[in-house]
Structure 1
Amino acid sequence: MDEALYKQVKTQRGFTYSYYFSPPSPGKPVLFFSHGFPNSSHVWREQVAFFKPLGYGVVVPDMLGYGGTDKPTDPKLYIGTGLAQDVADIFDAEGLTQVIAIGHDWGSYLVSRILNSHSSHVAACAFVAVGYVAPDSSYRYAVTHPEFMTQMVGYDTTAYVRFFIQPDAPEILEKNIDSFLCLGYPEKPEIWKDHMCVDGGARAWLESNRKNPLPSYMTPEIVEHERKALLKGGLTAPLCWYKIMLDDAKDADDATLAPEAHYVAQPLLFVACTRDVVCLPVLGDTSHSKYAKGVLTRKEIDGDHWALESHPAELSAILNEWITGLQI
């Protein structure tokens, strides 16, 4: 993505955010793309390359803890409504009254909180791999009660989280960065099930500095970009996105949202990744059946968690077809 199109803004909370921005052509909507762990705005590069020439406006921040954005290490600063306010400040800085919000991974959590606390800013929303995340304690419960997910899907999809929140996790990930990238982007998705979804599995993988083949979309150039970006900023701040989810401050923050704000009235697209063994499609489907009250569209990509990079043309086509069909 063109570095010349990156801008900076200081939010009301005092954080400096770096974000890519391209204004829309007349009559075209603005698309807001929100990334997750362990990425930066760069992960949306293929979608930006697709939508920008079509005249869509595009805003893609480095989220708090990543890229050119500030990297505080207090998990309480990653509170959901606070993150949503930061993004609303970016919208205000650009004079954007409404966007079509698109999230992936933890970016889906952020889009969810924007919907909850700044609903008027969102004309429609799309979730890739991870569906709408309601303001409740279900994630915390799943992490602290591994038997819950085991009973539901047959194995513990949150085992790796219990390692990520440990004090020594950032140091281990940084020390074994290539091993971490191999685990994060496995050629075979089942590696997550065998090592991320087993207590102690992720730690054992990294401490042994284990490697495995990377998928073809993880070219040497992309791998080097990811490595440098993560080592430059470190992993302490990004891992705060996990830590806050198990903090009482998160539950207190959720309690400030009115019950009616939990529901999504906007058109919602869910792009399920059928080979994702951690963020299983059934989890998004379960959430949407309860909370999506507007027009719900569901599509599938036969790929793992990283559809943005593994199936960029297919994902962009799905998004474009949905966007052009919106009645907004």
Structure 2
Amino acid sequence: MDQTNYRQTTTKRGFTYSYYFAPPAPGKPVLFFSHGFPSSSTLWKRQVPFFQQRGYGIIVPDNLGFGATDKPTDPKLYSGRGLSGDIGDILDAEQIEQVIAIGHDWGSYVVSRILHYFPQRVSASAFLAVGYFPMDGSLNLVRDYETFIELFGVDIFAYQRFFIHPDAPAIIEKNIDSFLSLVYPETPEQWKTSLTVEGATRTWLETNTIKPLPAYMSTEDAEYLKASLLSGGVSAPLCFYRATDEDANIEEDAQLPPSARDISMPVLYIAFNKDYVALPAFADVGHQKYIKGPFTRKELAVDHWGLLSHPAEVNDILLGWLESL
């Protein structure tokens, strides 16, 4: 991604965001890409050139807590209402009325919250690996683990109980190479024993377990990630997990009408079938309940990072869906 295309703006909440911007060709929509943990805007580096060359406008922020964007460490600042308002401020800075929003991991959460609070800013939405987040208060991802075990037969969010622990940032920063090989697994099956078993994530890091990084993760990419995480510390990125555990959204979400969670615009979901944490079956539950409009579901035999490991397949699905709108 061309560094000269990066810009900065300060949102109404006072946070400075860094974001990639390319204007659309005449008649083309603007695509908004939203990344998750522990990435930055560069997660989309294999998608941005593909779509930019085809005339699509592009906006890709470093989300709050990541990259060159501000890194506050108060979980309440990561509420859905606040994050979605920040994105609206970025769109206003570029005089963009409406986008097609595309999310991955916690980026899917950000996209979902924009749909809840500012649906007029989005004409269609796509979710990769992690599906639409209804945030209806029925389940807490961290505390209701017994329900998830009952539903899916595995403790899919066991690692989050470590991520919200007060000593997690220091342990991750001390063992950053171990952390990268944990989050970017050499084989997809690695997550079955390192993330979805009680205590396994802490043990992996405290013993400084290091595995080879996958082929799609170059040495340069790994060094960039390490520098990006260590420069501002890991406490801020982990606030996405802490905000969920501390129910930072409850007060604001209580003001939403129930109908705000129903999605009538076109939606694409790309299931990554070798993702052993963001299970497609988990996403399917929310989609069946809340998506009321045109819905497209595709599958790829890839792990959580399929947009890095199999960009051609991901890009082809996205392009086909965009052209169908």
Q: Normalising to structure 2: TM-score of the pair?
A: 0.98
Q: CA RMSD in A?
A: 0.9
Shift of 1:220: 1.1
Residue 234 of structure 1 corresponds to 233
Report 1:194-205 matches (<5 A).
194-205=193-204
1:118-174 CA-partner distances (Å, limit 9, x unpaired): 00000000000000001222451x421322111111110011000000111001001
Matched AA of 2:132 = Y
Provide the residue aligned with 1:97 in structure 2: 97
Equivalent residues of 1:35, 1:43 under 8 A apart: yes
Q: Percent identity?
A: 56
Distance 2:138 2:71 in 1: 27
- The Cα shift of 1:281 comes to 0.3
Write the letter of the residue equivalent to 1:92.
D
Q: For residues 223-262 of structure 1, what are the structure 2 equivalents within 5 Å?
A: 223-262=222-261
Match of 2:45 in 1: 45
Paired residues, number: 325
Match of 2:57 in 1: 57
Letter of the 2:263 partner, please give it: V
Matched with 1:144 is: 143
Partner of 1:156 in structure 2?
A: 155
| Structure-1 residue corresponding to 2:306 | 307
Contact 1:189–1:277 (Cα < 8 Å) also in 2 = yes
One-letter amino acid of the structure 2 residue matched with residue 70 of structure 1: D
What SS does the aligned partner of 2:47 have?
A: helix
Q: Which residue of 2 aligns with 1:171?
A: 170
**Aligned residue number for residue 189 of structure 1:** 188
Aligned equivalents of 1:324, 1:48: Cα separation in 2: 16
CA distance in 2, matches of 1:42, 1:170: 22
State the Cα distance separating 1:259 from its structure 2 match.
1.1
Contact 2:46 2:308 in 1 (8 A): yes
Q: CA deviation at 1:260?
A: 1.1
Hey, what does 1:128 align to over in structure 2? 128
Is 1:74 paired with 2:77? no
Q: Distance in 2 between matches of 1:322 and 1:23?
A: 21
Structure 1: 4+ residue segments shifted above 3 A: none
Match of 1:117 in 2: 117
Q: Partners in 2 of 1:214 and 1:4 — Cα distance?
A: 29
Is there any run of 5+ residues in structure 1 with no aligned partner, and where?
A: none
Contact persistence 1:139–1:245 (CA under 8 A) = no
AA aligned opposite 2:59: V
The farther-off stretch of 243-252 and 265-274 is: 243-252
Contact 1:136 1:251 (8 Å CA) reproduced = no
CA–CA distance in 2 between the matches of 1:139 and 1:86? 26
Contact 2:264 2:291 in 1 (8 A): yes
